[in-house]
Each structure stands twice: as C-alpha cells, then as structure tokens.
C-alpha cells in the first residue's frame, strides 16, 4: 500500500464490504489518506481484523437487507457526524453455474447484493451527502465480457455500470460525484487446492502487464476518485485490470 498524501483529510467515509479482500484494502488506504472511516460488513467477526489496523470503527450491514442498511448507515452517521464518501465493495457470484444450473432464487440472490444493494445504499445515504461528496462502487471487468458460467454476476455488474452513469446525472446538481472501479483478475488468497500455482500462471498470461491485481491497486484508484483531485470526474467506469480489456 502506497503512503498517504493527506488528500482525504477531514473526510468521513463509509465502506460497505469492508471485511473483504478489496474492501479491507480500501479501508486501509482511506485511513492512510486521512479519512475517518466506518468499515461495514455482514461478517462482524471479520471486521475485527480490519478495525484493528487503524483508527477505524465498524458497523454491521447486510447489503441485501434494506433495514440492515438503514440501521448501519444511521450508526455510521452518528459515529462520524455525517458522510462525505460512500464506497460499496460488496459482491457475490455463482461462478461455474451454467444456464441450466442457475436458478431463479440464485439469480435474485446475486441481483440483491450486486445491483439492488447499491440502490438501497444510495437511498439510505443520499440525504447525508452534500456538495463535494462522492459515491464509488466496486464493479468488475465482467461488466464488459460475456460470462456464460457466471451469468447473474456479469449482468449485475453491467447494470451497476449503467446505474453509475444514470445516478451521476441525477445528483450532479447537488455537487455529488458517482464513479465505479472495475477490478480485473485479482490475486485473491488461495482458498482451495484447485487454485494452484499453474492456474495462477495461466491467469497471469492474459494480463498484458504480467501480474494479477492486488487490493492496493483498486484502493489507490478508489482513493483518487473519492478525493477533490477527481472533482471533475463523474459517471465513469474505471477499469483497473492490467490492460486485460485492451487485448
């Protein structure tokens, strides 16, 4: 993680999905840049490791539950005295399911987290944001690709990209910016024997810059988009993928 510049000094940030690999990196980066941060996640125990790393408080938010979102946002606003930055880094997928295997229930589950969740979060936070504030949603390069074995995921991420564009116009007059960061192939922690070194090498070969992404790669871009340095940047889907989409 690169050293902070103080570009977010005095800003108050809520990071939902703050216990995930990317979310935790975003929390760490925003704190390093001087922001006051509430890290939120549905996994309360996982938040302990994130909040222990710096001056971060926590809240439990299940992005798929509107009441949980409302309660968590109220807690964050109370803790920080307001909001300037809202980041949604939540996401789930059903990787490997064919169209025959995916179910309506499964489709709706992914939709609730990956797309509807951002709408619910905006509805709960918008009244607390003023001029100079910003939303940053974490999407995926899957928004630009056909994903036959991850249909719901690709569809929701593409939807999030369009939601970002529409919302950016809807709130521009209030001085609020809205952007999306789309990670490419990431070097997530190894979770099972199938995620072997050979597989990682194969994944790396499709990335022009020659390596998989780290959480800090995404966090650095999120911090920029949330800062006043990006004051004329809104409605954008910024892909951070080592050049993969340019192939």
The position carrying tokens 């939709």 is 111
The position carrying tokens 């892909």 is 239
Annotated active-site residue 135? The verdict is: no
Q: 62 with 40: CB under 8 angstroms?
A: no
Q: 219 with 29: CB under 8 angstroms?
A: yes
Contacts of 9 (CB under 8 A, 6+ apart): 33, 34, 35
**Alpha-carbon 125 to chain mean position:** 16
Enclosing H/E stretch for 6: none
Q: Residue 26: helix, strand or coil by DSSP?
A: helix
135, 153, 188, 239: which is the annotated catalytic residue? 153
Strand partners, 239: 182
Active-site residue set: 153
């Amino acid at each position: 993680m690169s050293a902070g510049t103080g570009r977010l000094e005095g800003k108050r940030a809520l990071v939902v999905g703050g216990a995930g690999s990317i979310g935790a990196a975003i929390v760490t980066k925003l704190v390093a840049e001087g922001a006051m941060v509430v890290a939120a996640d549905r996994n309360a125990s996982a938040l302990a490791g994130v909040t222990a790393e710096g001056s971060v408080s926590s809240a439990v938010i299940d992005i798929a539950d509107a009441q949980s979102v409302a309660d968590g946002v109220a807690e964050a606003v109370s803790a920080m005295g307001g909001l300037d930055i809202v980041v949604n880094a939540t996401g789930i997928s059903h990787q490997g399911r064919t169209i025959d295997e995916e179910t309506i229930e499964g489709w709706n589950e992914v939709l609730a987290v990956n797309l509807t969740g951002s709408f619910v979060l905006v509805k709960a936070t918008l009244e607390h944001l003023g001029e100079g504030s910003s939303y940053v949603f974490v999407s995926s390069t899957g928004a630009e690709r056909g994903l036959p074995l991850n249909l719901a995921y690709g569809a929701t991420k593409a939807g999030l990209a369009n939601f970002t564009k529409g919302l950016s116009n809807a709130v521009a007059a209030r001085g609020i910016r809205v952007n999306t960061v789309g990670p490419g192939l990431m070097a997530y922690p190894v979770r099972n024997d199938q995620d072997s070194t050979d597989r990682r090498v194969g994944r790396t070969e499709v990335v022009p810059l020659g390596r998989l992404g780290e959480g800090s790669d995404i966090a650095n871009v999120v911090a920029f988009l949330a800062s006043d340095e990006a004051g004329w940047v809104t409605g954008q889907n910024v892909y951070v993928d080592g050049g993969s989409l340019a192939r």
